[in-house]
Amino acid sequence: MRIEAKQMHTRQHTSLLAQAEKRLLEKLAARMPNWVNSDHLTLLGLCGMLLAGAAYWAACWDRHALILVVLALAVNWFGDSLDGTLARVRNRQRPRYGYYVDHVIDLFGTFFLLGGLALSGYMSPMVALGLLAAFFMVEAQVYLATHVLGVFRLAFLKVGPTELRIILAIGTLCLLYKPWVGLGGIGRFLLFDVGGMISIAGMAMTLVVSSVRNTMELYKAETLPR
């Protein structure tokens, strides 16, 4: 049985850098060699994330490995952001395949990234585990909302994947000089423990707000007859 490819949802990307990033990606896609396809870029993005996790782990022996983390995040951005754009520019889209593979790879990549952080000594394992759990819960909510509402939202409060990579890269460079921070009279804490807790709180807020908003939207869309 032949199944026709169709667009299952609309993408809603409202992050701070979304428009500038879109123009840049379209220019890059137009200049990509013909032998490069979307699958190559998807694998490149995964390799970037795996390399970032490995570099975090290596940083427990040599802090200069943190520079490699930043380069690996740039590789991840290039592959992960450009694969879909290349498919659209060349009209070689496979909506269900692309959606599934991209997000499965995101889950694996984030697992290895945070695993590397947990082994690095720059973030406590429990904070890394909490961050991973919060990420998976937010992603599950996004996937469910995409399925039932037909809208795939890539950003919350103007922050999307690219902005998160930039924040992570800046924080990683800060680790080279100041891995610890003092919080008033409370004591000294790992910089990434503080950042991780703030991220967990932000994702918890995102989860609650998005869940309430989507529930209300669905409730209004499926009112019962009186």
**Closest Cα partner for 48 from 32, 28, 71, 26?**
71
Task: Please state the pTM of the whole predicted model.
Answer: 0.91
User: How many beta carbons lie within 10 A of that of residue 185, not counting itself?
Assistant: 5
Helix (H) or strand (E) holding 50: helix 38-58
Task: Please report how many Cα atoms fall inside a 13 Å half-sphere around the Cα of residue 74, on the Cβ side.
Answer: 8
| 3-class DSSP assignment, residue 49 | helix
Contact partners, residue 78, CB within 8 Å, separation at least 6: 41, 44, 45, 48
Res 224: pLDDT: 83
At the topology level of CATH, where does 10-221 sit? Four Helix Bundle (Hemerythrin (Met), subunit A) (1.20.120)
Lowest-pLDDT range, 32-46, 58-72, 155-169, 188-202? 155-169
Q: For residues 117 and 123, what is the distance between their CA atoms, to the nearest angstrom?
A: 6
Contact partners, residue 109, CB within 8 Å, separation at least 6: 45, 46, 49, 50, 76
Helix (H) or strand (E) holding 140: helix 125-149
Q: What is the mean pLDDT of the chain?
A: 91
Lowest-pLDDT range, 14-18, 31-35, 47-51? 14-18
Residues in the chain: 226
Within the chain, what is the greatest distance between any pair of CA atoms?
68
* pLDDT band for position 9 (cuts 50, 70, 90): confident
3 vs 108 pLDDT, higher one: 108
Question: Where are the domains positioned within the chain?
Answer: 10-221
